[in-house]
A and B are shown apart, each in its own frame.
Chain A
Amino acid sequence: MSNATVEQNGLGELSVDDQKAISEMHGIDQYLTFVLDDEEYGVDILSVQEIRGWERATKIPNSPKYVKGVINLRGTIVPIVDLRQKFNLVEVEYTPVTVVIVLKLYFEAGERTVGIVVDAVSDVYSIKEEDIKGSPDISRNKNSQFIKGLATVNEKMVIVLELARLLDDEDFANVAVAP
């Protein structure tokens, strides 16, 4: 292990579970990064349950646009959220390499399993807490509530997401259906 402030671990070398084990062992946070509209985003790897390809989801009537529907995940009903639409980015067609990252999120009410649709999965990086920095651009960004901060990995900028706020309770509260 090098002494650099950030390290890169190839996703191909270690499984997600191994990454988690390493993360817990060393106390460094490991992040799974993915691409969305040519930007790199990172989520805490400890909340990543699995990575799947896109499959057709059953639509839920009168739900927000970015909630694509629900899928069957080994017997549990899991909602799928399109992050592009959630972040108000340009919508795209889903391709065979469109990926769904299944996350386990923790709210005050409990925990939920949710899938997010992203363009592609990138890699797993170790990022130290202190290296995640805020920036003036972020607070201006209307999506800033979801962003923990920015980190630089291999000269690339990674937008580190705050998962707990990513899908806040408002989406998942009881909203009456307009007749």
Chain B
Amino acid sequence: MSIDLSQFHQVFFEESFEGLDIMENGLLVLTPNSYNSEEINTIFRAAHSIKGGAGTFGFQLVSDFTHVVETLLDQYRSETRTVSQVGIDLLLESVDVLRSLLDELQAGREPDLTQSVALKQSFETFLASTEPTANAPAINSEPEVSTASEDNSEITEKEIANNSESVSESDKGFWRISFIPSVDIVQTGNEPYRLLRELSELGQTTTVVFTDHIPDFPVLDPEHLYLYWQIDLHGDVQKEQIDEIFEWVVDDSTIEVQWISSSDSAVSEISSEQNVAELTANKELPSEPPVASIQANPTKIEMAENRAPSEITTEQAKVARPGPAATENQSIRVGIDKIDSLINMVGELVITQSMLGQIGNDFSIDKLQRLQEGLIQLEQNTREMQETVMRIRMVPISFTFSRFPRLVRDIAKKLDKQIRLELIGENTELDKTVMEKIGDPLVHMVRNSMDHGIETPEQRIKAGKKAEGCLTLNAYHQGGYIVIEIVDDGKGIDPQVIRRKAIQKGLILESDEYSDQHLQELIFHPGLSTAETVSDLSGRGVGMDVVRRNIQELKGTVELDSKVGFGSTFRIKLPLTLSILDGQLVKLGEETFVLPLTSIIESIEVSPEQLSTVAGETDVIVLRDEYVPVIRLYEVFNIEPRNRNIFEGLVVVVESGSYKIGLHVDDLLAQQQVVIKSLDTNYRRVEGVSGATILGDGTVALILDIAGLLSIVGEQTLKSTSLTKAAS
């Protein structure tokens, strides 16, 4: 029966990636010439586990590479080498290499070994060149598994020369084994009886037991073993097989293995006292036979041919690996408490259902109140279950945040800037899918802040700031959203610089007047970059518009708050769940639409004084000190409304990012939670529509996408209305 190890691969990969994260975080904390025992041990264990798992599950490549990593860490751990910057950097590099090796292996591809081979070489050079402190054990530069079975230790020196000859010929002689266990051998869980049994499986045995060491009863310790044995073993047996059987007890016992050839006339009598006297403390076994050699079956072991176990499993692994492999994590860890909660709630739901079933079975009007109570109960059960289930998909944002210490360190180094990173709110939870997808946009924005936001130490000092810049990632919950802020205390975004660039690129006209806020937000426009020299780090301004689009795809928004000289804050808002929405139902003609409740600022009936026109074509309403463009939804959607007159019906003012628009509808209906159903599963994406939902009466209502509606309205309209009343 052979077990398919590939079923454990996914878990191995997952825990290895986690282990790499642990290693990285630990390495970032280490300082040269210091000894932080706890950190170093943690890092060591992580590397050790990866190596062990890799070997066990057939990833010899990884195991071999990790070996040098482990060796260095072991030296740090045992303080035979002092922690140095070079060592830390090598180890950090190894984390990167391992990540990419494991990535490739997880995806079922053959990894490119150039980097790992080169780095391994660097490790070996490093390990060999610097003189480690104190007494260092010899560097074991070979991974254990690749060694074929070496010559096994001899348990005793009392071997007769004939041994090297064909000892396998049983008629030429036999083995005489004297086995004197130490008195407390059983307290290590070793049973001499078992050892004797194993010997008897190798061949024919004749066993003599000696009882003369047993003390008198009063002084006899029942937990001690006072017996010893002499076993004559006939058969086609190699000495290594016998040694193997005694492998574990060889230090706690006195064991002598002799070959007695039949030609010997005098078979030496072995006396126990003689043995004890002659056989002094056993030497330590210089090397261990590979585990592969432990077998109970008595056939001759051919050590040279015995392939190392990992070789076999590697081949198995190669054959067994299926086609497409998951590149993204397809599993989620859930606390058992959440699962137990859920199970309880399902139980309550069943009770409520059965109660309602009973009422329904034999219904009469006098049961009406009970029915209503039951329905209230049902609503509560459903709501609780819904909340719990959604929480299952939530993970703390720390998973995403964790890559930043390393990233910031590396980039700051590259840019020659001093930047301190602060992470706040790492425990804030968000939907797992959202978390996985927000990582890249965040990285881009952090890079942007580091590159264009935070100044060089000289510039900062000149500006009266501390040489070290501060970058903060802050995550918290607000309403049904998670807010992620990226705050830097750099030089801020200069609207005038952007204005010049935008005019240069033909995005705006010299004569156009815009608010500072609007100008700053032009950084989200494709094709705009504010760097004097385009660094290869952030690339051109292409980055920010892709970032915003990615965030919008997650049904989120991004705002910018920046002050020249002081710094910038990017604020990303993401819904906590992609499947449920608090909605405001609105009526337009015959159709019912759903607006996300969180996007609604207010609904007003427009009076003639409030209405105005901008640039001769766009209707705006004057709301306090802002101009808010109005969209006639019935025009956009080609629906016959009840009211074409904007003064009848309602205008719902909604916002997306920092833009506001007013939507002209016929009526406001109820507010309710709706389940978001995909429109593009069977149809396609429709601009201005983010999905559909099924109302209580079974009909379908479309959910409006405010950001999408904004883009329908058009840049022009929004730009021209972005002037505040004060500025006009």
The answer to whether any beta carbons of A and B sit under 8 Å apart in the complex is yes
Interface residues of B toward A: which range? 20 to 34
- Choose among B681, B687, B702, B712 the residue that contacts A58 (Cβ–Cβ < 8 A): B702
Instruction: Please give, as numbers and ranges, the residues of chain A lying within 8 Å of B683 by CB-CB distance.
Output: 60, 67, 70, 77, 79, 112, 172
- Choose among A58, A71, A171 the residue that contacts B701 (Cβ–Cβ < 8 A): A58
The answer to whether the Cβ of A90 comes within 8 Å of any Cβ in the partner chain is: no
What CA separation (Å) do A174 and B685 show in the bound complex? 6
A21 to chain B, nearest CB (A): 26
Judging by beta carbons under 8 Å apart, are B700 and A77 in contact? yes
Interface residues of A toward B: which range? 20 to 34
Residue of A nearest to B589 (CB): A59
A152 to chain B, nearest CB (A): 34
What CA separation (Å) do A171 and B700 show in the bound complex? 20
> Which residues, 678 to 726 on B, are CB-close (under 8 Å) to A?
678-679, 681-689, 692, 694, 698-702, 712-714
Judging by beta carbons under 8 Å apart, are A58 and B638 in contact? no
Residue of A nearest to B679 (CB): A77
Judging by beta carbons under 8 Å apart, are A61 and B637 in contact? yes
The answer to whether the Cβ of A113 comes within 8 Å of any Cβ in the partner chain is: yes
What CA separation (Å) do A175 and B683 show in the bound complex? 11
- With contacts A60-B683, A79-B683, A112-B681 taken as known, whether A72 is within 8 angstroms of B694 at the C-beta atoms is yes
- Choose among A57, A60, A72 the residue that contacts B686 (Cβ–Cβ < 8 A): A60
What CA separation (Å) do A173 and B681 show in the bound complex? 12
> Which residues, 128 to 176 on A, are CB-close (under 8 Å) to B?
171-176
Judging by beta carbons under 8 Å apart, are B684 and A58 in contact? no
Instruction: Convert B507-529 into 0s and 1s, putting 1 for each residue whose CB lies closer than 8 angstroms to a CB of A.
Output: 00000000000000000000000
Judging by beta carbons under 8 Å apart, are A61 and B638 in contact? yes
Judging by beta carbons under 8 Å apart, are A113 and B682 in contact? yes
The answer to whether the Cβ of A75 comes within 8 Å of any Cβ in the partner chain is: yes
- Choose among B639, B677, B681, B684 the residue that contacts A61 (Cβ–Cβ < 8 A): B639
What CA separation (Å) do A60 and B698 show in the bound complex? 17
What CA separation (Å) do A20 and B694 show in the bound complex? 31
What CA separation (Å) do A70 and B700 show in the bound complex? 7
A55 to chain B, nearest CB (A): 9
The answer to whether the Cβ of B591 comes within 8 Å of any Cβ in the partner chain is: yes
- Choose among A57, A77, A172, A177 the residue that contacts B687 (Cβ–Cβ < 8 A): A177
What CA separation (Å) do A60 and B691 show in the bound complex? 11
Judging by beta carbons under 8 Å apart, are A72 and B702 in contact? no
What CA separation (Å) do A27 and B639 show in the bound complex? 49
Instruction: Please give, as numbers and ranges, the residues of chain A lying within 8 Å of B684 by CB-CB distance.
Output: 171-175
Judging by beta carbons under 8 Å apart, are B699 and A61 in contact? no
A104 to chain B, nearest CB (A): 10
What CA separation (Å) do A53 and B647 show in the bound complex? 41
B718 to chain A, nearest CB (A): 13
Instruction: Please give, as numbers and ranges, the residues of chain B lying within 8 Å of A62 by CB-CB distance.
Output: 637-638, 686
B200 to chain A, nearest CB (A): 62
Residue of A nearest to B590 (CB): A59
- With contacts A70-B700, A71-B700 taken as known, whether A176 is within 8 angstroms of B687 at the C-beta atoms is yes
> Which residues, 69 to 126 on A, are CB-close (under 8 Å) to B?
69-72, 75-79, 112-114
B361 to chain A, nearest CB (A): 25
The answer to whether the Cβ of B376 comes within 8 Å of any Cβ in the partner chain is: no
The answer to whether the Cβ of A56 comes within 8 Å of any Cβ in the partner chain is: yes
User: Could you pull out 29 A-B pairs where Cβ atoms are within 8 angstroms?
Assistant: A58-B699, A58-B702, A59-B591, A60-B679, A60-B686, A61-B688, A61-B689, A62-B638, A70-B679, A70-B683, A70-B692, A70-B700, A71-B700, A72-B699, A75-B694, A76-B677, A76-B681, A76-B682, A77-B678, A77-B692, A79-B682, A172-B684, A173-B684, A175-B684, A177-B636, A177-B686, A177-B687, A177-B688, A177-B712
Extra A-B contacts (13), CB below 8 Å, given A72-B694, A77-B682, A171-B684? A58-B591, A60-B689, A61-B637, A63-B686, A70-B683, A70-B692, A75-B677, A76-B682, A77-B700, A79-B682, A112-B683, A177-B686, A179-B636
Which 9 pairs show the lowest CB-CB distances between chains A and B?
A61-B637, A58-B700, A79-B683, A177-B687, A172-B684, A112-B682, A72-B694, A77-B692, A77-B677
